[in-house]
Amino acid sequence: MLSNQTIQIIKSTVPVLEVHGTDITTRFYQLLFTNHPELLNIFNHANQKQGRQQAALANAVYAAALHIDKLETILPVVKQIAHKHRSLGIKAEHYPIVGENLLAAIKDVLGSAATEEILQAWAEAYGVIADAFISVEAELYEQAERQSGGWTGFRSFRVERKVSESDVITSFYLVPQDGQAIAAFEPGQYISVKVEIPGETNTHIRQYSLSDAPGKPYYRISVKREEGIKNNPDGQVSLYLHNQVEQGDVLWLSAPAGEFTVNLSDKRPVVLISGGVGLTPMVSMLHTLAEMNPDRQVTFIHAAQNGHVHALREQVEELALLHSQVSIYWCYEKPTEQDRALKAFHKEGYIDLPWLQQVVPTKEASFYFCGPIPFMKAVNSALQKWEVPEADIHFEFFGPSSSL
């Protein structure tokens, strides 16, 4: 437990963190990777280069300071991050390293304003927060290993099939190389894929949503080819998977993880809204709902530029034909004439509230959405204007958490 004096000191730093938080976390990562370059094998270089990781950590530190007297209020966020940490292989021994470099970054950025009293208070607070993460993650590691077909760390999987789903998205069907059972997962969860790219010094880890229903003898991920500029880390792994990984090749996977899962015990209508490759967890949810809750009303909405880049469309349309409770709607920004002839094509342009109110039977439903951040901001704003309760709004970021 933190003393009242420590709590008050931490709270006094909230305004400073609001102004200098990203500067501190940027300096933190510079120090961390200089002092411990081996950690570059874990962290996503693209998120570092884009500043997303620095912003996410700054938000987390700010939230911890703001709620330091009631840390239980940020426990859901702790659990969400802990799932990612377990999936990446973050261990208890990493936390002292992080703490040491975070305090050094605070001192570097704030200079004389970072008094010994403030640094000591933050060291004490960091210890409490780190213990919370370590405890939650230890439980997740144990769950991953002890479940039927489970494992810890990374396990070798063979690419059984490689299927082109659209002009930009390819599915990989992955089976365990040892021929043993694989762990079950909840629709909406993801796996981490670790690859060694020829010519690269460090390994790269990326997290991909599982795009098929649970209960299959394989895992399926559907990966968008990210065309970036030369040496841009954002597209390195996706381009490697698309261009170099073939049927029969081996990839290393962590066990399924993630908190963004559909509630199968809820009998109310469910609305699944996706943009671009954000449809991957939604397709998994749709498959599962159709199989396990066939009487539950499901509205599936997907936005894409056009049919050329719309992946898994035929699978979703087949499910809608087989299950009368499933309604599907396509929204294309720039539809082709062929797209306009599709039965499910209903809107040109972007998803907005008036259209959602037309196609969604009721707002008394559970809403799930995923996609690019601007898309998610628009959907979230529309649902808030519709006065959908916050408890019924669920979303997932691809990468570090941001703000909607």
Active site residue 137: yes
Active-site hit among 62, 95, 219, 368: 95
| Burial readout 68-94 (b: 16 or more C-beta within 10 A, e: otherwise) | beebeebeebbbbbbbbbbbbbbeeeb
| Residue 190 among known ligand-binding residues | yes
| Burial readout 190-209 (b: 16 or more C-beta within 10 A, e: otherwise) | bbbbbbeeeeeeeebbbbbb
| Residue 369 among known ligand-binding residues | no
Whether 204 and 195 have beta carbons less than 8 Å apart is answered as yes
| Residue 51 among known ligand-binding residues | no
DSSP 8-state code for residue 97: H
- Residue 162 parent element (H or E): strand 155-164
Active-site hit among 29, 62, 126, 137: 137
Q: In this structure, what token pair is assigned to residue 296?
A: 């539950």
| Residue 358 among known ligand-binding residues | no
Angle at 301 between CA 299 and CA 304, to 5 degrees: 170
| Residue 13 among known ligand-binding residues | no
| Residue 400 among known ligand-binding residues | yes
| Residue 280 among known ligand-binding residues | yes
Gap between the Cα atoms of 303 and 290, Å rounded: 21
Gap between the Cα atoms of 344 and 321, Å rounded: 11
| Residue 398 among known ligand-binding residues | yes
| Residue 324 among known ligand-binding residues | no
| Residue 208 among known ligand-binding residues | yes
User: Which spans in 175-312 are helix H?
Assistant: 236-243, 279-292
| Residue 209 among known ligand-binding residues | yes
Active site residue 173: no
| Residue 397 among known ligand-binding residues | yes
Residue ranges of the annotated binding site for NADP(+) are: 276-281
Q: Which residues are catalytic?
A: 95, 137
Binding residues: 85, 190, 206-209, 276-281, 397-400
Binding-site residues for FAD:
190, 206-209, 397-400
